[in-house]
């Protein structure tokens, strides 16, 4: 069989049409969230448009305020972590791994969430116990790729202790500037399921490299609350992509891009896959490309504490989008 140039061109056009269609669907799903963010804070729009470009980001970083010296040293739960080492790693790589939660902390959170209902796929209509995931998928007649707790996690004292730990704020202020403040706290499950669509994966930020645009400058701390190996959906980060960005990744409204495209620009050797025991923590500049991979055999339980420089959204303090 001979493949002609016309055939190749036709195939290329079909692929382009498919990509454009997928792009429009992903944007359409997020429009209600974007409109809500805009109504709550009109300053969101210039951030959303300009913060993806390196010149605008560099200008905004010039407004970072110095950190005020603390008069009282507070104890942290993280042993042996030097703030300067963390900030240096963030500035060079965008990533630092080596925060470890005390065993009693991550065990208390894991115990709390196992007996607390979560919400599937960010949607409060799909409430279920995480131990009954398969039954919930059958009951609701759809794949449930994630289970979020939103404000319910603040009922867990151990989770609150993490978000209030002074080391996290100290790192955030020395990286983002003195105006750094807490903007997100969330705990969620990522479940293995064979039925999830690309739209489900995009909503759950799984399986595709992306960067976050919730604020001009952000820092996110992540903690594994159960062991994570290659089959449990490990987090992946592209080192150095927070401070250099291809022009095509600045001039598009999309924040998500296929792995082969991202690694083709920033190098396969730049991708760091983070696996480890329960309690492993790491911190990243989420403007760098990153993704959660789809769990293959075991659910992943993860906590995020995020810091930014703009007033936190009252509606999205726990990362909740608008579902229509």
Amino acid 18: pLDDT:
41
What's the pLDDT score for residue 266? 96
Residue corresponding to tokens 């969620």: 188
**Is 20 within the bounds of a domain?**
no
The confidence score (pLDDT) of residue 65 equals 94
Q: What is the DSSP string of 259-305?
A: HHHHHHHH-GGGEEEE-BSTTEEEEE-TTS-EEEPPPSSS-EEEEEE
Domain membership of residue 316 (yes or no) is no
Count of structural domains, the chain: 1
Q: Say whether pLDDT at 311 is over 50.
A: yes
Q: What is the pLDDT of residues 6-28, one digit of tens each?
A: 454 444 444 434 444 445 555 56
Let me know: does 131 contact 114? Beta carbons within 8 Å: yes
Which of 176-185, 203-212, 280-289 is predicted with the least confidence, judged by mean pLDDT? 203-212
Query: Tokens 């990243």 map to which residue?
Result: 284
Residue 135 lies inside a defined structural domain of this protein: yes
Confidence at 4, pLDDT banded by 50, 70, 90: low
pLDDT at 202 over 70: no
Q: What are the pLDDT digits (tens) for 213-259?
A: 989 999 999 999 999 999 999 999 999 999 999 999 999 888 888 89
CATH number for the domain harbouring residue 284: 2.60.120.620
- Residue 130 has what DSSP assignment? G
Token pair 């645009």: residue:
213
Q: What is the pLDDT of residue 32?
A: 76
Provide the pLDDT confidence category of residue 281 given band limits of 50, 70 and 90: very high
Q: Are strands 118-120 and 95-100 parallel, antiparallel or unpaired?
A: unpaired
Average pLDDT over residues 255-276: 94
Q: Tell me whether residue 42 is in a domain.
A: no
Structural domain for 229, as ranges:
50-308
Query: With bands split at pLDDT 50, 70 and 90, how would you rate the model's confidence at 204?
Result: low
**Taking the model in full, what pTM does it have?**
0.88
CA neighbor of 27 nearest in space, from 204, 199, 262: 199
User: Is 146:188 a contact under the CB 8 Å cutoff?
Assistant: yes
Q: Is residue 37 part of a domain?
A: no
Across 302-306, average pLDDT: 97
State yes or no: pLDDT of 207 exceeds 60: yes
**What is the band of 35 on the pLDDT scale with cuts at 50, 70, 90?**
confident
On whether the CB atoms of residues 186 and 310 are closer than 8 A, the answer is: no
- Please state whether 150 falls in left (phi above 0), alpha (psi between -120 and 50) or beta: left
pLDDT at 56 over 90: yes
- Average pLDDT of the chain is 87
pLDDT in tens, 103-125: 999 999 999 999 999 999 999 99
* Alpha helices by DSSP H, 82-132: 83-93, 103-114
C-beta separation of 114 from 156 below 8 A: no
Report if residue 321 sits inside a domain.
no
pLDDT digits (tens, 9 = 90+) for 135-171: 999 999 999 999 999 999 999 999 999 999 999 999 9
**Is 201 part of a structural domain of the chain?**
yes
């Amino acid at each position: 069989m001979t493949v002609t140039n016309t055939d190749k061109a036709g195939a290329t056009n079909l692929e382009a049409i498919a990509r454009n269609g997928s792009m429009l669907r992903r944007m359409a799903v997020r429009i209600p969230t974007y409109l809500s963010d805009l109504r709550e804070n009109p300053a969101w729009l210039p951030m959303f448009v300009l913060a993806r470009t390196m010149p605008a980001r560099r200008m905004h970083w010039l407004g970072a305020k110095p950190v005020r010296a603390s008069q009282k040293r507070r104890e942290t739960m993280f042993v042996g972590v030097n703030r300067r080492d963390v900030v240096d790693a963030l500035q060079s790589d965008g990533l630092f791994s080596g925060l470890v939660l005390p065993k009693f902390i991550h065990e208390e959170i894991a115990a709390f969430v196992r007996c607390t209902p979560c919400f599937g796929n960010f949607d409060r209509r799909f409430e279920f116990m995480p131990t009954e995931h398969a039954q919930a998928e059958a009951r609701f007649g759809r794949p449930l790729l994630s289970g979020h707790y939103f404000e319910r996690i603040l009922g867990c004292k151990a989770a609150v202790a993490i978000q209030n730990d002074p080391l996290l704020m100290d790192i955030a202020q020395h990286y983002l500037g003195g105006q750094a403040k807490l903007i997100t706290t969330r705990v969620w499950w990522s479940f293995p399921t064979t039925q999830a669509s690309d739209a489900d994966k995009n909503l759950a930020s799984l399986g595709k490299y992306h960067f976050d645009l919730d604020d001009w400058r952000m820092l996110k701390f992540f903690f594994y609350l159960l062991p994570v190996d290659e089959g449990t959906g490990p987090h992946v980060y592209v080192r150095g992509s927070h401070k250099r960005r291809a022009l095509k990744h600045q001039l598009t409204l999309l924040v998500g891009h296929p792995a082969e495209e991202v690694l083709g620009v920033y190098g396969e050797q730049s991708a760091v896959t983070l696996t480890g025991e329960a309690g492993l923590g790491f911190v990243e500049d989420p403007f760098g490309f990153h993704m959660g991979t789809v769990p293959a055999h075991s659910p992943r339980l993860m906590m995020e504490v995020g810091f930014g420089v703009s007033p936190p959204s009252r509606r999205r303090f726990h990362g909740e989008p608008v579902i229509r």
